[in-house]
Structure 1
Amino acid sequence: MSSPASYQRELILPLLEGIHESPPWGGLLRQLVARTYARRAYLIIRLANAGKDQDPSAVHVAAPRAAMDPPLDYRKIAALNLHPYGPLRPLRVYALDEMLDYDHPDRLESQRAALQEMGVHYARFLRVSAGGAADAWIVLVRERDDFSAAAVVTLSAIAPHLTAGLKTLARLIELRLQVALAQSALQRLGIGQMAFDETGRVMAADAHAGALLSFVPEPEPVPGRRLALMPAISQALENTCAAIASGRADSVPLPLDAHGGLWLLLRKADLDLEQPCAVPVAVGVLRTYKREDAAKARQAMAMIYGLSRNEASLAHQLSLGETILEAGRHLRLTPQTSRSYSKRIYAKTGASSQADLVRLILSGLAPLS
């Protein structure tokens, strides 16, 4: 057995760092291949709520001596009807002989023939489970000699750590999904957000805000980033963040360019964050003009308010700022038909006027279609 320091450096550190790899734990699998003298290996991760047609996350690794070998195909191995992966007891290392079907000689023969064709003569299987949220399987294979006892001990020793890592990964994936949901909804409305500290540095920016703005490259790694702005605007941003931090300001709009084409609304941060965290002083909100797909919006309004196709089309044109007659001409309707449709729209939506109808549409689900 190697020293504890070597074990931590070669296995535990790749395990911790590998949570942020995509796909996860390629570095860990490479270390396991090196330490167990495996020829090839794969690691698959399946989330419990993944769709039936969604492929699991998969990592394939080969030792340097097997660099020219084809990667192991976990689908082909799974199709051999070996001992099912799911029922494998977590944390226990299984040998290949334990996976073969000795109760059915014909199937056993076909399993062995297929494995030999893939260059799999010896193998070890390990399953870890994240409490029902996710499962992961590691498969190590060799061609000539079986795995040593030390190799099996290494695989067994990493199993509890990998279990903890898998639980962390499952939670991280859930948080990533929450972030993606929020950002997707905001981007459909043309909204981007940033978090600022009291000096005006950007602590975090979503994808839309990051695409709209530029940042100042800094040679030294420091917390946060500076926006690339004109000196006077940059100073105004810093002063506003300091004023919000001291309680002298609460919500302030600032132009981010000399022409006033892009504005940033800075407001006091009211985020509910779990500790430990660095709490931002201010949240900056940007908004660019962006409207939804017209066909999808019309379909949504028709379903929500019971509008006909023509009524929904007219309502959507009105929400774009057109008058009833302009919207009717756009849809090739006569003025009389346009007014008739508008009365039906008001009756079905409960709107009292055109302005009220526009408010109803823009504050509803249609802009998110």
Structure 2
Amino acid sequence: MAFLSSDQRELYLPLMEGLLEDPPWQRFLASLLQRTGARRAALALARPGEAGSTFTVRADAARAAQDPPLDFARLAALGLFPGTAMRPGRVYTLGEMLDFDAPARIEAQRAALGTMRINHARAVRIGTPGTAEAWLLLTREREDLGAADSALLAALAPHLAAALRVRAALGLAEARAAMAESTLALLGAGEIAFTSGGQVLAADREAERLLAFTAEPGPLRRLQLLPEPTRALEAACSALAGAAPHARRLVALGPRQILLRPATPAPASAASAPAVIGLVRAEAAMMSAAAPEILATAHGLSPREAALAVALAQGETILAAGQRLGLTPETARNYSKRLYAKTGTSGQAQLVRLVLTGLAPLA
């Protein structure tokens, strides 16, 4: 099928731009619906690692506004769309999916299709098992879809497959970033990606909470600082850009400090790679209410013993922590001795180190 300039504008560009939409590819489906004159266009996207689980993006023509929703789970259970028996990249008609050899089954299939007002359809399976996978479906109620519609779906299939692979890679990168960001937030720490000139490329939620940023035009911002800290930050970023991995600079931003290090070298093809990473931290990152339970499970402590250990790790004295926990001074001292014995530590300093380097601060 020959590519037309209208295809580029109405289908292929929305297909790529749809990677950043939420839900993805909504405008692409709307364009496909308009191009083919279908009643409905839907994309069932497989959820990685969840067999048989999909989530659906759809676009409906105005005449289908009151139609019942497409139930992909019901269709799949009846051997219709999406179906693992479909060969990737091949466009299927509705008739090819109906089970004419089993009267009871085809009756159930037709009943389900009738409920959803599907009398004609074209579908194509995108991707391969174990990777990004989807099923693209066009439906009509009265007139059938034509050969041109089938050819269009066949032409779109490899492009949608490529988009699915990109989306899967983006999703994995986002998941990794979210995990790292949430762990840092539990410690009261946030990160900022800087250019070599001290401009902000990106900042996580904790950094956004701890610092103020200027609202500059364009994609780059700066930290909202007085002139002297601004110059110090810019000079440090310039010095660290491309420096040895172990290089560090501590810069006072006013009441708060930022620890700077060279960014990990990015691939040469990266469009906007940071030169420097900055780390900021809240004055006191308190452990969550779940920390004592985690510590008790890890070391066989009683609830009060675990609560005392967490209090000591957060800077309280034995007597002050004991008083807050309703313990007498003598009982608090006895608890601390039992803590040392159960955790294999020889004193308060070792106990604090054990708590802070374990999983309790990340609970």
Task: Tell whether the structures are fold-level matches, with TM greater than 0.5.
Answer: yes
Matches of 1:112 and 1:246, distance apart in 2? 65
Q: Which residue of the partner structure matches residue 215 of structure 1?
A: 213
Superposition pairs of residues 102-113 of structure 1, within 5 angstroms: 102-113=100-111
Partner of 2:136: 138
1:237 CA drift (Å) = 2.0
1:21-61 deviations in whole A, cap 9, x for unaligned?
A: 12221122112212221111211111331477xx6332110
Residue 285 of structure 1: how far off its partner (Å): 0.8
Contact 2:241 2:262 in 1 (8 A): no
| Structure 2: runs of 5 or more not aligned | none
Correspondence for 2:346:
352
Q: CA deviation at 1:79?
A: 4.6
Paired residues, number = 360
Residue among 266, 272, 276 paired with 1:282? 276
Q: 1:56 to 1:120 in 2, by over 3 A?
A: same
Partner of 2:296: 302
Aligned-partner SS, 2:22: coil
Pick the aligned partner of 2:266 from 258, 273, 276. 273
Determine the structure 2 residue equivalent to 1:291. 286
Shift of 1:188: 0.6
Contact 1:60/1:71 (<8 A) preserved? no
Distance 1:83 1:137, change over 3 A: closer
Instruction: Report what 2:178 is aligned to.
Output: 180
Q: What code does the residue aligned with 1:293 have?
A: S
Q: Matched residues in 2 for 1:186 and 1:83: separation?
A: 43
Which deviates the most, 272-281 or 194-203? 272-281
Q: TM-score, normalised by structure 2?
A: 0.90
Report the counterpart of residue 43 of structure 2 in structure 1. 43
Partners of 1:281 and 1:98 in 2: CA distance: 56
2:59 aligned partner: 61
Aligned equivalents of 2:168, 2:87: Cα separation in 1: 20
SS state at 1:163 partner = helix
Q: Residue 240 of structure 1 corresponds to which residue in structure 2? A: 236
Q: Indicate the RMSD between aligned Cα atoms, in angstroms.
A: 2.4
Q: Is the 8 A contact 2:48 2:132 kept in 1?
A: yes
Pairwise mapping of residues 1-369 of structure 1 onto structure 2 (< 5 A)? 3-50=3-50, 56-82=54-80, 85-130=83-128, 132-219=130-217, 221=218, 224-245=220-241, 250-257=247-254, 260=255, 262-265=256-259, 267-277=260-270, 278-288=272-282, 289-294=284-289, 296-369=290-363
2:240 touches 2:262 (CA, 8 Å); kept in 1?
Answer: no
Q: Does the aligned pair in 2 maintain the 1:292–1:366 contact within 8 Å? A: yes
Structure 2 Cα separation of the partners of residues 10 and 205 of structure 1: 34
Distance in 1 between the 2:62 and 2:126 partners? 27
Segment drifting more, 89-98 vs 230-239: 230-239
- One-letter amino acid of the structure 2 residue matched with residue 48 of structure 1: P
Q: Deviations over 1:179-216 (max 9, x none)?
A: 11101100111110011112110122112112333332
CA distance in 2, matches of 1:204, 1:51: 36
Contact 2:249/2:261 (8 A) holds in 1 = no
Distance between the aligned counterparts of 2:33 and 2:82, measured in 1?
23
Shift of 1:286: 0.8
- Specify whether residues 275 and 87 from structure 1 end up closer, same or farther in structure 2 by C-alpha distance, changes over 3 A only: farther
Q: Distance in 2 between matches of 1:46 and 1:246?
A: 42
User: What is the rounded CA distance, in whole Å, between the counterparts of 2:278 and 2:131 in structure 1?
Assistant: 35
1:140-184 CA-to-partner distances (Å, cap 9, x unmatched) read 100111001001100111011111111121111111111111011
* TM-score of the aligned structures, taking structure 1 as reference length: 0.89
Structure 1 consecutive aligned stretches of length 4 or more whose deviation exceeds 4 Å: 246-250
Q: Percent identity?
A: 46
Answer whether contact 2:242 2:275 (CA < 8 A) is retained.
Answer: no
